[in-house]
Structure 1
Amino acid sequence: MSSAVTTVPAAPSEIAREPFSAEFTFETDCWDVHDALSRESDFVLLDVRSPSMFAQGHVPGAINLPHGKIVRSKLERWSDQTVFVTYCAGPHCNGAARGALRLAELGRPVKIMAGGVTGWLDEGFELAKGSDT
């Protein structure tokens, strides 16, 4: 007897490796971002929510750049090779993907921080308040 989980069999390992490893080229997680921010990070973390949401609480070290305002002129201070990591409110929000798409359309390397603010808090990490970054 099989369940809804096993009715469709899992892909053979040699087939599963490629899509699972490709996933890491598109996203990172809160733990990896937190760890990287505790040292000199090699990416720019973008909070793509509104300025008011950013001020209520954001990942320390993040820069607020709402996804609708991501344009070439706002990115000029960073080299073309700078990796951007976008995040929004959480898994229920598609702002991080919207921001990532805009960055990709501008030819910038980008990943999404899976979980967003919700994931950050779920991991027990603190948020910064205010609009100073």
Structure 2
Amino acid sequence: MRRLPVLLAGAVAALTACGPPPSTPEADVVERHVASQPPSDVVRDYLHAVQDDDAVTAAVLSTPGFAAQDGWQDGDAPDLDDVEVSDTATTHDTTWGAEELKAYAQAVQVQATYTADDGGTGTAGGMPGWGYVLVRHSDRDPWLIASAGQG
């Protein structure tokens, strides 16, 4: 019977160590999220944020529309391994895309690959290609992730 209180105390300590999700964005991410930051670095910071269940930081790196509908920012991100983000950003044609994308003067796409363990929902064990569309109004603005999908 003495083991039960010890086990309960250990479980409470483990849960407390995890702590609540962050309520403010990572200061170093916000500091470097400026117009000169390459789009590939924005994608890397976003992937780190969603892996850390840090929706606040992920939202700073996203358009409001993307942040509102992104399941990964709701804690549904699979565990990612072997993450590779291309340093090459290619121009993204917004003429056929969503209205939100058309509102921006500049749009680029950045490719990433990873091995995902998502509990069998389609990408587990694979090395999928994933494209991120980033947008901004001018060269003076930081890049924001506006869309993600197979690419």
Same fold (TM over 0.5): no
Which one has a larger percent strand, Structure 1 or Structure 2? 2
The TM-score normalised by the length of structure 1 is 0.28
Q: Which has the larger radius of gyration?
A: 2
The TM-score normalised by the length of structure 2 is 0.26
Higher relative contact order (CA 8 A, sep 6+): 1
